[in-house]
Amino acid sequence: MSIIEEGSEKKVRMAFLSIVCSHTVNGVAALHSDLLKRTIFAEFDAFYPGKIQNKTNGVTPRRWLHCCNPGLSDLIGEVVGGVDEWVTNLENLESIKF
């Protein structure tokens, strides 16, 4: 759990430092948080119970695409029958598979 890597060349382990210095750590998705708790940060999870959490921000990939690339969003909408058809229902993207 040392924040300094104990090798021939000393290096700061930035991920470890961020866990130690943070109030909480967000794993974003439950699957990711559980993986962090069980593997690379298991010792930290035992030492700081409840510190590694997950809070999804609620932005889906399709909503992100719709907002950041309106041109592509409109093009996809033309193919699947309207922007709302794929932004609200991801399964409708199946029709653009090659």
Give me the residues paired with residue 4 across strands: 12
- Token pair of 8, please? 């021939």
Sequence spans of domains, the chain = 4-53, 61-96
DSSP label of 66? H
Between CA 38 and CA 59 the distance in angstroms is 26
Element (H, E) at 38: helix 30-38
Q: What is the pLDDT of residues 22-78, one digit of tens each?
A: 999 998 788 889 999 999 999 999 999 999 998 876 667 777 888 889 998 899 889
pTM (global) more than 0.75:
no
Overall residue count recorded for the chain in this entry: 98
